[in-house]
Structure 1
Amino acid sequence: MANQPERTGAPGIALIKQFEGLRLSRYLDAVGKPTIGYGHLILPNERFTRPLTPAEAEALLRRDLRSAELNLLKLLHVPVTQQQFDALMSFVFNLGAGRLRSSTLLRYLNAGASARAADQFLVWNKAGGKPLAGLTKRRQAERALFLS
């Protein structure tokens, strides 16, 4: 699509960094998965035997973003603004492209109903069926960026 953003912009990267946080050493995420850096899920074949440097964490984030960007681009059937792309990237980075693929958010967006799509960000604030304050704040921030 002409003029379609293909890379996450600075506001999107800042949003992802804000909500993911930076952890230079391995840790278990909220659902018990080994993680490092800016929310990088450690794959079975990856070994992180020492803490990352900030530069290594940044490089890992950029690699993870590129993978997510390519997945997002496959799902978009309408042009989006850079702000919309960035908001969707934060969503995909947090929840995965599979969740977006099956969402009402994407269905509305691809149907040209971007205002209705924006409201769908707010639906995705639960873990284990219960709303979480951190997810609520993230979804509100994504919605605001999407609408800006």
Structure 2
Amino acid sequence: MNLSPIGEACLIAREGRRLRAYRDSVGVWTIGVGHTSAAGPPQVAPGLAITAAECDAIFARDVAAYVAAVRSGLTAPVGPHAFDALVSLCYNIGPSAFAGSTALRRINAGDAAGGAEAMLMWARPAAILGRRRTEAEQFVTPYAA
């Protein structure tokens, strides 16, 4: 399974798209679609600016790693909407945290509702709770045909 076009649009809307480096809500230097130095090149520092094309290339490389992390950890069957929500969660909390998360553990045990509920446990900083709610809602709500 791969990130759907709807899932990609939702993830970009959640992260935002900025071509100049900025500090995120917890002070981490960020650029593009939520790219930080922890995700790999480019290293984000004050004053860094990228083009729209560079932003798209960085996002494509970054999101591929998070899609792979979700594929690797997820053993239960889920629909595209749920997969997309898990990629969004993983993109925000990181592959290691995702792999050890209660949300993933519950989903893999067949408790999808409990997994969606556990997504809300990732609520720091408090400003992120709105995002978690939309991810949990996306997880449980199939896309309209």
- Aligning the two structures, in what range does the TM-score lie when normalised by the shorter sequence? 0.7 to 0.9
Q: Which residue does the alignment assign to 2:93? A: 95
Residue 25 (structure 2) pairs with residue 30 (structure 1): yes
Structure 2: gaps of 5 or more residues: none
**TM-score normalized by the length of structure 1:** 0.84
Find 1:46's aligned residue among 25, 42, 47: 42
Looking at structure 1, the residues matched to 136 and 109 of structure 2 have their Cα atoms a distance apart, in angstroms, of: 18
Q: Which residue does the alignment assign to 1:107? A: 105
Aligned residues: 138
* CA displacement, residues 55-99 of structure 1 (integer Å, 9 cap, x when unaligned): 221121111000111111110111221111100000000011111
| SS of residue paired to 1:30 | coil
RMSD of equivalent CA atoms: 1.9
Distance 1:29 1:145, change over 3 A: same
Q: Which residue does the alignment assign to 1:86? A: 84
Looking at structure 2, the residues matched to 122 and 33 of structure 1 have their Cα atoms a distance apart, in angstroms, of: 22
Which stretch shifts more, 31-40 or 137-146? 31-40
* Aligned residues of 2:4 and 2:80 also touching (Cα < 8 A): yes
| SS of residue paired to 1:35 | strand
Residue 80 (structure 2) pairs with residue 77 (structure 1): no
* Aligned residues of 2:36 and 2:43 also touching (Cα < 8 A): no
**TM-score normalized by the length of structure 2:** 0.85
